[in-house]
Amino acid sequence: MSEFNSQPGANQTQGQQPYTPNYSDPQGQTYQSYSNPQAQGYQTYSSPQGSYYAPYAAGVPDQAQQRGPVSFNEAQVKGMRRTSFWGGLLTGVVAVMLVVGVYFMIQSFSRANSSANIAYDQLGPDATLSPEEQQQVLAKMDTLIRYISAYYVEEVDVDDLLDGAYHGMVDALDDKYASYMNAEEYADYNMDSSGDYVGIGVTVQISQGDVKGLEVINVSQEGAAYEAGIQVGDIIIGADDFFFEDEMLLNEMVSHVRGVEGSIVDITYVRGGQTYTVSMERRKLHETNVYYTVMDGNVGYLALTGFTANAQSQFDAALKDLQSQGITSLVLDLRDNGGGLVSVCVDIADHIIGKGTVTYLEMRDGYQEKYSATSDDELNIPIVVLVNGNSASASELLTLCLMDYGKVTVVGTQTYGKGIAQSTYGLKDGTAIKFTVAKYYSPEGTNIHGEGITPDVIVELPEDVTFASIKTNGIPDVTKDTQLQEALRILKEGR
């Protein structure tokens, strides 16, 4: 994760109630859950592949392990897929490096829960190599390193070679949301997760298309990039006079965009085949996720820009304030909301649907995990949800849930279509891996991955208008916002 990110990380889920009870799988193995949301522990369960940590428990992770909660956030779901310079040297032996990468990564893969450590040799027989296989691949790797060190035209660092192997192994998953993070990258990931950072206000990943650089996957409304018109899908190819090279790692590119608070950086980016350069100020940012006001006398307008760790409290405070002002209907604006934490999504749904299933996740073996709202607070007023092509992941999940309960009318344009979840696993040596672990479904079993949500009422913004350009302090100009106009019309007419 780069310093641009303002999304929550491994240690940001404070005070969340776990949503998973004790249960058993079809093989009769008991799944364990903890009852204290502040405990430094995680769920574990057993499967034919062995015992491991369930990737969805909300709570405070062990600080030594920094194990992150499931994120549906398109921003947090960065992909961070990197191309290693040294990895390119080893193209011919990538299969060997992947196997060796498995060995080294699993060897350091020990995560602590409240009562026990799940050690490397407890991950299960299918997750490791036999002693003979270990000897073979390590001997082969040693041979490769010796040849490269002896004859390659430049001096090499063995750590760089191994780092390239680890990155290459995760890249081989063909999962755009997967990443291996070395210690420096993972430190950045966790630093950015605090919500306080210095940057231009975008979340990025390595672009995978013909244009190489940093693909923007989320834009913070608090940052200079947002004001400068940077959009999701833009590819940053340079900062000031430095232009990125194909073989650079993510953190190398990011280092050229980082800088001192208040300094100016010229960002060069590509959009639609055209190249642009814009100057912007690096700022210290703390993400604000909720903006709200009262419109037309009694219509509450509440924009939720992300499901970060602090979004729940901001949403709660905003909704209470709106209700105290006597609102009789609500516009819930999820446009340009790239997603966030599933626990936050569930807590926000809790205030709208009351008790009931919010979503369930399904792993590759068919095991399903349900997330439910448990509150008695149901919001029984007409609601319109606004969405667009940048409404992704958790924002889609919340929209699907509210649709299944018949709580909302959806207005806008087709959503992004991300119906899969990732989990981040901190490793013993300070590195981490993140990859897709499940698909998520609406209460009635709908998965929208690759398709998105089709609104009940499709409304485009005018061609010369972007959503970002018509907002002041997070509130859109209703005279220019045709989608908001339609939402207000629906609520006024009681449709």
Asked whether residue 193 carries a pLDDT value surpassing 80, the answer given is: no
Q: Where in the chain is the domain with CATH 3.90.226.10?
A: 286-420+437-493
Q: What does the pLDDT look like over 344-400, one tens digit per residue?
A: 999 999 999 999 999 999 999 999 999 999 988 899 999 999 999 989 999 999 999
Average pLDDT, the chain: 75
CATH topology of domain 196-285: Pdz3 Domain (2.30.42)
Percent of all residues in the chain with a pLDDT value above 70, rounded to a whole number: 70
Over residues 140-159, the mean pLDDT reads 92
CA 26 to chain centre: 31
- Between CA 264 and CA 390 the distance in angstroms is 28
Determine the pLDDT at residue 450: 94
User: What confidence tens digit (pLDDT) does each residue in 92-110 have?
Assistant: 344 334 433 433 333 333 3
For residue range 412-451, list pLDDT tens digits in order.
999 999 999 988 899 999 999 999 999 999 999 999 999 9
Nearest to 474 by CA among 311, 288, 345: 288
Is residue 277 very low, low, confident or very high in pLDDT (cuts 50, 70, 90)?
A: very high
Give percent of the chain above pLDDT 90.
43
* Cα 185 from Cα 195, distance rounded (Å): 16
Residue-level pLDDT at 121: 46
Residue intervals in the chain for CATH 2.30.42.10: 196-285
The correct answer on CATH 3.90.226.10 for the domain covering 286-420+437-493 is yes
The whole-angstrom distance between residue 24's C-alpha and the CA centroid of its chain comes to 29
- Which pair of tokens denotes residue 36? 């204290």
Residues 446 and 396 sit within 8 Å (Cβ to Cβ): no
In Å, how far from its chain's centre is CA 392?
10
Using the predicted structure, report yes or no on whether residue 267 has a pLDDT greater than 70: yes
pLDDT tier for residue 126 given thresholds of 50, 70 and 90: low
Residues annotated as catalytic (active site), given as ranges? 393, 404, 418
CA 483 and chain centroid, separation: 27
Q: What is the mean pLDDT of residues 50-77?
A: 34
SS3 of the chain: CCCCCCCCCCCCCCCCCCCCCCEECCCCCEEECCCCCCCCCCCEEEECCEEEECCCCCCCCCCCCCCCCCECCCCCCCCCCCCCHHHHHCHHHHHHHHHHHHHHHHHCCCEECCCCEECHHHCCHHHCCCHHHHHHHHHHHHHHHHHHHHHCCCCCCHHHHHHHHHHHHHHCCCCCCCEEECHHHHHHHHHHCCCEEEECCEEEEECCCCCCCEEEEEECCCCHHHHCCCCCCCEEEEECCEECCCCCCHHHHHHHHCCCCCCEEEEEEEECCEEEEEEEECEEEECCCEEEEEECCCEEEEEECCECCCHHHHHHHHHHHHHHCCCCEEEEECCCCCCEEHHHHHHHHHHHHEEEEEEEEECCCCCEEEEEEEEEEECCCCEEEEECCCCCCHHHHHHHHHHHCCCEEEEECCCCCCCEEEEEEECCCCCEEEEEEEEEECCCCCCCCCCCCCCCEECCCCCCCCCHHHEECCEECCCCCHHHHHHHHHHHHCC
